[in-house]
Structure 1
Amino acid sequence: MNNLHHATALPDVDKRALRRFLRHQRNALSQQEQRVAAQRLCDQLKTLPEVRRARRLSLYLPINGEIDPTPLLAWLRKRHVDVYLPVLRPFSDNNLWFVAYRSDTPMIKNRFGIWEPDQRFSAKRCNRLPAWALDTLIVPLVGFDAQANRMGMGGGFYDRSLAFMHRPGPSPALIGVAHACQQVASLPIEPWDVPLKAVVSDKGCVRRR
């Protein structure tokens, strides 16, 4: 595994191998370990200033062993925070909409098997926000390092949808979340990577320096 951790100039084949390894790591967790990790994650998230001050926050519904941020929902709703979900934008090249997630939001499974607000609901502009208008985004990842660098699934959905953050102007705080077992020694940074403020796991928080 040492060669996977050596990531200063990781070729694509090694990135694929590292993604496979880290997905295997999180999938190997039992349901009980997943539940405990999710609760610990959410306890950590509640202490973050970026989460505590947010009035408009996006999170995700987990799949394939991703750590589960949804235990945070009841706490957010008590605080009258508007919650949004990423939705695959129709007829676009791997871009996301951010759509209101309420108790009455109609849901369907997308092509990846992830639950999301249905297209008719999402298509109404009043039900979604542009990404720049969100206060905080809680985003999944496959791997992270001590500098809060993120390795995603490889589809580039968040990097494309948040590319505006490379330019001056209003932008949300990006918080990555993962199981502690998804941390590696170092990850390469690509020019298109949108930087995270921090990565929170079930065992702690690392912030970008």
Structure 2
Amino acid sequence: MVSDSKERKATIRRNALARRDTMADSERIEASLAVCDRATAAVSVAPAVVSGFLPIRSEIDIRPLMMTFADRRARLCVPAIVDGALQFRELVRGAPLEPQGFGTYAPGNDAAVLDPELMLVPLAAFDRRRGRVGYGRGYYDRAIATLRDKGLSPLLVGMAFACQEVEAVPMDAHDVPLDLVVTEREIIQP
């Protein structure tokens, strides 16, 4: 059963990423900006610690949104991969970044490690129930579980293009649904 779910997720991931990859650069830029505007309006509070991500390949670019939260005095962080797990390191303007694999970068070992109150979550695919298919390694699910084990409950906001929506995401016991999914077309919430 688990292998069937893994196979279904792999197919969903491959198809959704293929759709995302077909977006023209100009379309991707405009859609990214629209998502950032929508998310800015949806999350009007000023959380103290916001985790974001630096875009890879054809991924949505949320850096304008991250700067909006920084303007609201939030501390920004991005994930670093440490011993097979995510560690959220403070992102400070001008500080050097190190390669993390998968084509992304994060601050080095000397950066402060933070616990996010708001997580802007990357994804490969999503559905109307706010189920998420990630990139297949389970990093975010484990990181969220670790935060919850500490008694924390960050707001989980999936960031995606509308073309990444699928009919249904298979949800396993370890999968964590998102609180919101923001696309250039809409906000999906309970």
TM over 0.5: yes
Corresponding residue for residue 110 of structure 2: 121
| CA displacement, residues 73-120 of structure 1 (integer Å, 9 cap, x when unaligned) | 33222211111111101xx2x3111111111221022222212112x3
Corresponding residue for residue 80 of structure 1: 73
Q: Is the aligned partner of 1:43 residue 2:53?
A: no
Structure 1 moving runs of 4+ over 4 Å: 165-168
Corresponding residue for residue 152 of structure 2: 170
CA distance in 2, matches of 1:59, 1:166: 18
| CA displacement, residues 95-149 of structure 1 (integer Å, 9 cap, x when unaligned) | 111111111221022222212112x324xxxx111x3xx2100010011111111
Contact 2:12/2:166 (CA < 8 Å) preserved in 1? no
Quote the offset at 1:11 in angstroms: 3.7
RMSD: 1.9
Contact 1:143/1:184 (CA < 8 Å) preserved in 2? yes
Percent identical among aligned pairs is 30
Corresponding residue for residue 94 of structure 2: 104
Quote the offset at 1:163 in angstroms: 1.2
CA distance in 1, matches of 2:36, 2:179: 17
CA distance in 2, matches of 1:59, 1:148: 18
CA distance in 2, matches of 1:164, 1:108: 24
Tell me the SS of whatever aligns to 1:47: helix
Contact 2:162/2:183 (CA < 8 Å) preserved in 1? yes
Contact 2:157/2:182 (CA < 8 Å) preserved in 1? yes
Corresponding residue for residue 154 of structure 1: 136
Q: How many residues are aligned here?
A: 188
Correspondence for 2:165 among 172, 183, 186? 183
Q: Is the aligned partner of 1:15 residue 2:6?
A: no
Contact 2:56/2:102 (CA < 8 Å) preserved in 1? no
Query: TM-score, structure 1 length as denominator?
Result: 0.83
CA distance in 2, matches of 1:162, 1:205: 21
Quote the offset at 1:30 in angstroms: 1.1
Q: Which runs of 5+ in 1 are unaligned?
A: 1-8
Quote the offset at 1:165 in angstroms: 5.6
Query: TM-score, structure 2 length as denominator?
Result: 0.91
CA distance in 2, matches of 1:160, 1:73: 23
For 2:167, the aligned partner's letter is A
CA distance in 2, matches of 1:62, 1:24: 16
Contact 2:46/2:72 (CA < 8 Å) preserved in 1? no
Quote the offset at 1:57 in angstroms: 0.5
Corresponding residue for residue 50 of structure 2: 57
CA distance in 2, matches of 1:111, 1:172: 25
Corresponding residue for residue 6 of structure 1: none
CA distance in 1, matches of 2:148, 2:4: 23
Quote the offset at 1:184 in angstroms: 0.9
CA distance in 2, matches of 1:11, 1:78: 41
CA distance in 2, matches of 1:15, 1:112: 19
